[in-house]
Amino acid sequence: MLTGSCLCTVNKYTIINKDAAVFRKIICHCARCRKISGEYTTTNIVVPKTSFKLTRVSKWPSLVPGLLKSTHTFNAVLPDDKHGHICFCSHCGSVLYRESEMQGMRGLIFVPVGTLDDIDSVSDLRKEEWY
């Protein structure tokens, strides 16, 4: 089992069945990923939706004025199906996961590796580069 959270830890998640065939790391160089992350690339682990569970635990004041709501996440839907919808923490603004709408990738969740509690736990995962 893997665990992770957003920056402020209001939103936590667990990933079960780490060894399922679908698990891999994708390093993406596309323009959209650069905008999402503010970096040259993003690195996400790919997880079946059925293996990913979002849990919400603590109370934390919003780091983003106006974003504190009764729910702890909000989704941005991008016009390209490759990136599908992006789930952000509504308290700190961190990206928690993305859900692909792309043909052949439906039902998969992309989780930024930087949100994992133990980043070394995925060091052995197969890598793919996307452009």
Does residue 89 bind Zn ion (CB under 5 A)? yes
Q: CB of 17: closest distance to Zn ion in angstroms?
A: 25
Amino acid at 47: V
Please tell me whether residue 87 binds Zn ion under the rule CB under 5 A.
Answer: no
Cβ atoms 105, 24 nearer than 8 A: no
Find the binder of Zn ion among 15, 45, 46, 92 (CB under 5 A).
Answer: 92
Taking alpha carbons only, the member of 130, 42, 22 closest to residue 94 is 42
CA atoms within 13 A on the CB side of 32: 14
Our finding on whether 113 is near Zn ion (CB under 5 A) is: no
d(CA 48, CA 62): 30
Give the contact letters, 33-62, x = binds to Zn ion (CB under 5 A), - = no: x-----------------------------
List contacts with Zn ion (CB under 5 A).
6, 8, 10, 28, 30, 33, 89, 91-92
